């Protein structure tokens, strides 16, 4: 005879039965989930990792110094410590003793503008790990840079490249590479404030119109020429101008956080720019736009 299996349910009170049924339902729902399906891809969930940030690293600093040491060796120059930008670990300035000692091209003689532009492109491609502050990963390439200015300044060229890795301009003095080279393609000075490319929202999550109300009746302080403290109160809505979105790197302690932000210009005659995060509404920084 076939064996008949029976499920024995113990006697329970009605309240216990309801609890048992609900527990069984929850267990069945959880068992249907895909393994590893822990987070939900919602705007709120994405904000948990916002803003993206990167921290200073002794390892990365050493990698940059090693790349710099290799560049010096290629030019037959003695080891000299390179001054770096805080946290970014990009070249801050060229040691004065090495000005005019590092060739950016193997071509001899004086280079014209077209030849110099090509030489600069080759130099940037060869040293992009050093210029980006991350020789191991080399996160940037020539396609991430746009030539912003090329000035023939007598015996040398002043060149500025702007970083194009993001959907919006990079503010706060970052995202620029500045080079000065003489007419014989020897490096005279450099400064890199390039930032790593990271995933950043492209759509704001707060209403910028609310920023105007936030600025009304707000006092901004400054000092006059005599060093006396002064104050300016925003009293009219016309004194508040919300500008286009920017990428705003912010250095705090030993890390850089990267924000999508609105520059809000306030004042009349004397103006300040208040940078406000376009995702969470946090005020990031206030910058005075005039000398005092």
Average pLDDT, the chain: 86
CB 69 within 8 A of CB 76: no
Q: What is the pLDDT of residues 120-143, one digit of tens each?
A: 999 999 999 999 999 999 999 999
The predicted structure's pLDDT at residue 47: 61
**Nearest of 272, 84, 274, 75 to residue 186 by alpha carbon:** 75
The one-character DSSP state at 202 is S
More confident residue, 187 or 172: 187
Percent of the chain predicted with pLDDT > 70 = 84
Distance of CA 61 to the CA centre of its chain: 18
| Dist. CA 249–CA 51, nearest whole Å | 10
**Nearest of 220, 73, 192, 207 to residue 133 by alpha carbon:** 192
Q: Is residue 46 very low, low, confident or very high in pLDDT (cuts 50, 70, 90)?
A: low
Residue 28 clears pLDDT 80, i.e. is over it: no
SS3 assignment, position 281: coil
Average pLDDT over residues 42-54: 69
Residue 42 clears pLDDT 50, i.e. is over it: no
The predicted structure's pLDDT at residue 9: 43
Q: What is the 3 state secondary structure string of 61-77? A: HHHHHHHHHHHHHHCCC
| Dist. CA 144–CA 53, nearest whole Å | 19
Q: Is residue 292 very low, low, confident or very high in pLDDT (cuts 50, 70, 90)?
A: confident
Residue 215 clears pLDDT 90, i.e. is over it: yes
The one-character DSSP state at 94 is -
């Amino acid at each position: 005879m076939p064996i008949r299996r029976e499920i024995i349910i113990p006697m329970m009170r009605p309240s216990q039965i309801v609890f048992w049924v609900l527990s069984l339902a929850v267990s069945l729902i959880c068992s249907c989930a895909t393994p590893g399906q822990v987070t939900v891809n919602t705007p709120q969930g994405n904000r948990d990792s916002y803003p993206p940030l990167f921290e200073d690293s002794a390892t990365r600093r050493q990698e940059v110094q090693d790349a710099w040491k290799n560049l010096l060796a290629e030019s037959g120059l003695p080891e000299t410590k390179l001054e770096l930008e805080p946290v970014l670990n990009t070249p801050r300035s060229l040691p004065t003793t090495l000005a005019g000692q590092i060739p950016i091209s193997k071509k001899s003689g004086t280079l014209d503008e077209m030849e110099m532009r090509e030489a600069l492109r080759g130099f940037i491609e060869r040293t992009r790990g050093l210029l980006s502050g991350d020789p191991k990963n080399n996160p940037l390439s020539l396609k991430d840079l746009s030539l912003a200015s090329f000035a023939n300044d007598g015996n040398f060229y002043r060149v500025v490249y702007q970083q194009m890795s993001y959907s919006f301009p990079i503010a706060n003095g970052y995202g620029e590479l500045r080079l000065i080279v003489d007419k014989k393609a020897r490096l005279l000075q450099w400064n890199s404030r390039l930032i790593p490319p990271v995933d950043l929202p492209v759509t704001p999550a707060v209403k910028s119109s609310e920023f105007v109300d936030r600025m009304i009746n707000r006092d901004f302080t400054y000092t006059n020429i005599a060093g006396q403290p002064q104050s300016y109160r925003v009293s009219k809505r016309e004194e508040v101008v919300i500008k286009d979105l920017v990428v705003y790197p912010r250095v705090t302690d030993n890390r850089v956080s990267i924000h999508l932000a609105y520059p809000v210009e306030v004042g009349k005659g004397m103006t300040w720019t208040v940078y406000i995060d376009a995702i969470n509404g946090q005020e990031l920084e206030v910058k005075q736009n005039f000398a005092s």
